[in-house]
Amino acid sequence: MRLALLFSGQGGQTVAHWQQVQAGIDGELGPAILQALPGIAELDSTVNPEKLAKNKIAQPLIFAQQMLLWAQLQSRLPRPICAAGYSLGEMAASSVAGAFGAVEGVVLCAERAAEMDSAVSGEYGMLAVLGLDEALVATLAEEAGLAVAIRNAPRHLVVAGPRAGIVVVAGKFERAGATRLVHLAVRTPSHTPLLATAAANFRQRLALLPERRLAFPVLSAIDATVARTARPALDALARQICTPLDWAACLQTVREMQPDAVLEIGPGNALAKLFGELAPEIPVRACDDFRSIDGIVRWLDAGH
């Protein structure tokens, strides 16, 4: 079976995902998780959506949750034909392909979050805009001091920048006929030039990692470029911090690789929905759709 993997980014994390990671701290990732997420060993009544939206919590948490899922799935799945990750999810895609280990990845995600947080000051956010032409979204965003950060589909974009600008432009998008606006659970202007310093610093950190052959190709979320060795995958991980993502192109490339099934690993099922809209002929599900690892494996074994 030809299996493609998609790894979720930030925005879909919930208290349930916090608890999943909490349950995994006795394993190999435990020390790194405890260092990156102080207090996770205790039943923390302060965990709420606002806390989970903070970079320093969200990034290592989501990566750890994905690695814990992958550790249970890997031996029961065929070798993937490719992996792609949405924003932060590209860290997980690169890790499972062999660019760096899961333990080191937790540390890297904590460092990535710290670099992004220190690169800007003030209140920032991201807003998904559906139903408007890309040129109009880009124009209105620029007028409000924002930038287009992600292209999910021709009429499904994400803008990022100062929270004050998002508040102003949301009204303009509504009046222009947007069919839906979604304020994402992200508190940083990801994939915009505002994070150029963070990208440069993270590139220096990733340059310390060795070059090696990847177990399977990793697609860059920037432009769907295929990496078969670690160095180009790592370079893309740094560059995407301050560069807009063309996720639509990434999903189209996955489709062209003709998988028999696509599985989203990580919080939520937004990527599975996007791929299903693009390629309804290819079975796609998210791990969060299932109650157990056995359920995921049974679905994949059912002739897909």
- Condensed to tens digits (0 to 9), the pLDDT of residues 5-49 reads 999 999 899 999 999 999 999 999 999 999 999 888 776 767 888
**pLDDT the model gives residue 277:** 96
8 A C-beta contact, residue 236 and residue 35: no
Architecture of domain 3-119+193-301: 3-Layer(aba) Sandwich (3.40)
**What pTM did the predictor assign?**
0.95
Q: Which residues of the chain have pLDDT under 70?
A: 43, 45, 303-304
Q: Given CA atoms 182, 185, 191, 193 in this order, what sign does their dihedral have?
A: positive
CB neighbours of residue 76 within 10 Å: 12
Return d(Cα 115, Cα 196) in angstroms, integer. Answer: 10
The DSSP 8-state label assigned to residue 218 in this structure reads E
**pLDDT the model gives residue 135:** 97
CA 206 to chain centroid, in Å, comes to 18
**pLDDT the model gives residue 40:** 87
Enumerate residues 6+ apart whose C-beta is below 8 A from 76: 293, 297
Fold adopted by 124-183: Alpha-Beta Plaits (3.30.70)
**pLDDT the model gives residue 47:** 85
For residue range 81-125, what is the model confidence (pLDDT) as tens digits? Answer: 999 999 999 999 999 999 999 999 999 999 999 999 999 999 999
**pLDDT the model gives residue 91:** 98
Q: Of the candidates 36, 198, 193, which has an alpha carbon nearest to the alpha carbon of residue 103? A: 36
- Amino acid at the residue 12: G
Domain residues of the chain, as ranges?
Answer: 3-119+193-301, 124-183
The alpha carbons of the chain give a radius of gyration, in whole angstroms, of 18
Return d(Cα 170, Cα 156) in angstroms, integer. Answer: 14
Return d(Cα 161, Cα 184) in angstroms, integer. Answer: 12
**pLDDT the model gives residue 285:** 98
